Amino acid sequence: MSDETSQTGLTDNTAAGLAYITIIPAIIFLVVAPYNQKSFIRFHAWQSIFLGIAAFVIGFINIIPLLGQLIFLVGMLVLFVAWIIALLKALKGERFKLPLIGNLAEKQAGA
């Protein structure tokens, strides 16, 4: 067991992956030390938050009959696939930038 894992209980990869589970762990990792001091974890936490915001915005498009509902279904499917890819990449220790959202997350994380 590494020194880093014994102090915090989580590896960086695990913490980054957990940030994608819901928006709550992502916010916690941005606030609680030592997680908020690591660029890798901050990046994935911010990317998770921006994914949640994108899903929320796409949810409003569902109000529009037919075309909005079609855009909603396709958009949510795309976001779901992006979420799975980002989660798996975080667990592997990779910094995978999603289009548009990844640049915002990188800027917020200060990476």
At 10 the pLDDT is 87
Mean pLDDT of 95-99: 93
Is omega for the bond preceding 65 within 30 degrees of 0, making it cis? no
Residue whose structure tokens are 């901050």: 42
| pTM for the predicted model, two decimal places | 0.86
Sign of CA dihedral 35, 38, 41, 45: positive
Retrieve residue 111's tokens: 């990476």
**Per-residue pLDDT band at 3 (split at 50, 70, 90):** very low
